[in-house]
Copies of this chain bind each other. A is one copy, B any other.
Amino acid sequence: MERIIAHYLIETPYDLDKATAILAGEQSSGTFVDIPGETQALKDRFSARVENIELLEQAQQPSLPGDSSPHASYKRARVSVSWSVENFQDNIPTLIATLQGNLYELRQFTGLKLDDFDLPDYYKSKFKGPVFGAKATKELAGVIPQKPMIGTIIKPSIGFTPQQTADLVKVLVEGGIDFIKDDELMASSANSPFEERVCQVMKVIKNHQQKTGKKVMYAFNISGDLETMKRNYDVVVQHGGSCAMLSINSVGWVGVKAIADLGGLSIHGHRNGWGMLNRHPLLGINFPAYAKLWRLAGVDQLHVNGIRNKFWESDASVIRSIKACSEPFLGIRKLLPVVSSGQWGAQAFDTYKHTKTTELLYMAGGGIMSHPFGPAAGVRALQQAWSGAVQGKTIEETEHECAEFAALVAKFGKLKTS
């Protein structure tokens, strides 16, 4: 029978074989004593199986509290455990409850992080994955394969009226932007009711489309309970929008899948709360596993942070995340990585150097909105940066050739390239 394999980073003071067997046992029979009725045949068919154990390093101190008594050293390892598809069939919430369940609470581990997992071919026909994915999302916004999508966020995050939002959208679409989004803090607020915002913003976008043929993508934040999301989804469709944004961690897997399954809009997956799940090196989940779960739910666009971001995440993690979005997975469509946080163009050079892809959405907030010559110049500056990066030019060469990008360099300073 085909098996699901999960890969963990663990830390334990105990013998690695024994500790990993406890992990597998907790996620199979799950109690602290032998149980009548649990035959060897049952165990063979339904138990988790340890597939691989690889010692990485030793530490002097535990990474997390909960060890029953102090130990001299703690082994860090990468371990792989497998389950039969018979246990879950196509039930992903129950698969998640197994891959990420009680095992974080086991005293025997002073660190445990789900790094990645592999699904067998059994799942190929079960999930359609992203309806649009990276390629069709870019096409929806009229962006050619050789360029990334350039996007921005409406700021201040909250407080603008629909008309103020629409006025800003007008400046941005006339400046040549491909994508604009609501902030995750903003859904329907007292002075920006959802439907009115959609109406005003789409009026601007459709006017621009009539003039230029280009339909800028706007990600309206439809996050809410199921009824709210469905109602707001319909509002976006009715007004001719092409994208809905969801705060995926707070909406949750089931709610996100229910909306993605509607199939009419590209789904912008905002991962706010990610730091809670990932910031500790030995607790939570790493992006390759996280991205697969949301790809199964049908998310089209997923946030990955950016190189030299304003947050804590390392460049290595960001690069790994961008690559994970296009990793082959059950034959379903690729995710469009959403690169953001503290981006203003200079990072395009390293982003392209390390990933060699323009199949991404490059988001800049302050980089566009506070450009010395105005937001339209900010959009051009980002396009110049990416064009330079793709052509293999340096920041200096691009700055020399392009006045708008040069103005951003003058404003934000020349960042060290790595």
Interface, chain A (partner B; CB < 8 A): 27-38, 42-43, 45-46, 64-66, 86-89, 91-94, 96-98, 100-107, 112, 153, 155-160, 164, 168, 183-191, 221, 223-226, 228-229, 247, 249-258, 270, 272-277, 279-281, 283-285, 305, 310-313, 342, 365-366, 369-370
Contacts and interface: CB of A to CB of B under 8 A. Distances in A.
B311 A106 contact: yes
A190 B89 contact: yes
A254 B229 contact: yes
A177 to B, nearest CB: 16
Nearest to A1: B190
Contacts of A251: 93, 252-254
Nearest to A64: B279
Nearest to A279: B64
A34 B365 CA distance: 11
Contacts of A184: 94, 97-98, 101-102
Q: Count identical subunits in the complex.
A: 2
A103 B256 CA distance: 22
Contacts of A252: 250-256
B187 A257 contact: no
Contacts of A33: 366, 369-370
Contact of A97 (B96, B153, B185, B283): B185
A184 to B, nearest CB: 5
A31 B152 CA distance: 11
A247 B89 contact: no
Nearest to A257: B225
A325 to B, nearest CB: 19
B189 A35 contact: no
Contact of A370 (B34, B45, B106, B273): B34
Contact of A98 (B45, B103, B185, B365): B185
A279 to B, nearest CB: 5
A322 to B, nearest CB: 17
Contact of A225 (B97, B254, B280): B254
Nearest to A374: B36
A231 B152 CA distance: 41
